[in-house]
Structure 1
């Protein structure tokens, strides 16, 4: 098992996250900790943890990130995966894994033939100073037409089998400039026809704090902020960044999903009537009813 963790100025939160790996339900793992230019003592924390592991079945490899943003850091690790990567999990530096989460994911993946690309994602518990809130399970079946417009496969819950990890490894060098690595993984793997499995039991405490690059954001204030951002084109720019990377990886997609990608891409550039027609042809959807209403409103306004 390989665990990929991007690190940047995570000294304050690293120790409990690293300790939680030991109770993950996986007896042997290697942690790749890719430091992306930390100016605090993150590297010292990781080295102490590595030394404490000793010569046991678990180990740490400290790596130098590209210092081009969090998504580029994870892409660099994915591109470096070995020829036979085995199971690969993603981790954030500031969360806490809940016990046995890797064990459950591996058991789910091992029910499938090793040659079938598959990945597990799961629910998380959004964790603030005063509250623990379990994330919602997807209302509709996850898939490529959903992945084009939103991400439900949170990176800190993703575990890939070897076949899926090889797809991500081979495609990663083509995905430069994307907004989000986990959203891209959800898009790429569902587009490539990988089996998408959900662990219904929450697998991670997702720490919410002022340093989050991306946060959960559930309150009224966050809802208003997101609508303002959509009206200003932020959502469209993020989709464009994801699409540009995904289109460079189109050789990995199955034929029917290439057609969906083309319809979606064409629709974004079309006048209103053609835009609506192409979006329906692509079959894109968001998981929540309010998300679907917001998405189609953005389509009408040309903000997708």
Structure 2
């Protein structure tokens, strides 16, 4: 970019978000490194959320670009993929994904750019921890920490950070756009980003510091990760077959552009796709041989149980 200051584009997914949207938008303006552009995709264009976004934008359009497009109206994952497909990599250095009802802490973008820039021109994905926050009680719980290494053998079976914390550099955005045409929809956009970028040999980073307030309410998709209730719910996903369905979707998405993966990671994907439905011994040997793993003892034990029950 021509400017000496990094050009950051915020990608904001909107859906029925009037109530808390202005707090999120104000937190963009309070960044120590302000974004240069906010691009929002409204997935429910007649509920008034887009109008709130546009009205707020009239106050700031002299200092940054403020754009609204119509969403595909096919759910959150498809809306974020739509945003990622729309932005022009030649016009931005970084893209930062955003939900509509969080509050970014002031150093979020500055810290992300600092960490990502140190990696050079390779595709880089950065996620952070967050404060899982209940406005009604004021309670804050720090989201789970996923220790390194963050690699494809981990990404295939577990996500590492919420999409609302993620920032990508231009090289990663180009990689994502190369994978999108004709791709079946993955289970979750953030999990797929982790899989694609790690699988293609990119760098995946986790900032251990919380960089946003993640509002907890009944409409949050998937929700907080830190509580015992949430851990039990996720184990339930494995037992009921939901986790296997997610794996089906993710494998199909990755296989559609497997040429983007490194040879070793493509071989790992192929083996997982072939052997996760094979005999019990073959499934367990695959886990032992390949290094597929989830972080944490209970999560890793759940993975072995899922493999044994053909739920992986």
Quickly name the TM-score band, shorter chain normalised. Answer: over 0.9
Find 1:271's aligned residue among 274, 279, 282: 279
Query: Secondary structure of 1:193's match?
Result: coil
CA-CA distance at 1:59 after TM superposition = 2.0
Contact 2:9–2:35, Cα closer than 8 Å, also in 1: no
C-alpha deviation, 1:176, in angstroms: 3.1
* C-alpha displacement of 1:38: 4.2
Tell me the equivalent position of 2:34.
Answer: 27
TM-score by length of 1: 0.94
| Aligned partners of 1:90 and 1:157 also within 8 Å | yes
- Determine the structure 1 residue equivalent to 2:97: 90
Q: Map 1:190-209 onto structure 2 (within 5 A).
A: 190-209=198-217
2:12–2:100 contact (8 Å) kept in structure 1: yes
* Counterpart among 58, 62, 67 of residue 68 in structure 2: 62
Among 126, 134, 140, the alignment partner of 2:132 is: 126
Of residues 216, 236, 240 in structure 1, which corresponds to 2:224? 216
Q: In the TM superposition, what is the alpha-carbon distance from 1:49 to its structure 2 partner?
A: 1.3
Alignment match, 2:78:
72
Give the Cα–Cα distance (whole angstroms) in 2 for the partners of residues 134 and 174 of structure 1: 38
**SS of match in other structure, 2:209:** coil
SS at match of 1:89: strand
1:256 to 247, 260, 264: 264
Q: Hey, what's the Cα distance between the residues in 1 that align with 2:229 and 2:103? A: 26
In 1: Cα distance, 2:190 partner to 2:133 partner: 20
The answer for unaligned runs of 5 or more in structure 1 is none
Deviation at 1:168, TM superposition (A): 0.9
Structure 1 residue 201 displacement after superposition: 1.4
Structure 1 equivalent of residue 297 of structure 2: 289
> Please, which moves more after superposition, 202-211 or 171-180?
171-180
Counterparts of 1:189 and 1:126 in 2: how far apart (Å)? 26
SS in 2 for 1:169: helix
Q: Is the 8 A contact 2:143 2:225 kept in 1?
A: no
* Contact kept in structure 2, 1:122 and 1:153, CA below 8 Å: yes
Q: Distance in 2 between matches of 1:270 and 1:238?
A: 18
Distance 1:220 1:25, change over 3 A: same
Residues 228-287 of structure 1: CA deviation (Å, up to 9, x unaligned)? 332210111011111111111211111111111112112212111111122223311111
Contact 2:99 2:164 in 1 (8 A): yes
- RMSD of equivalent CA atoms: 1.5
CA offset digits 1:201-240 (Å, max 9, x no partner): 1111111111112211544443433333322101110111
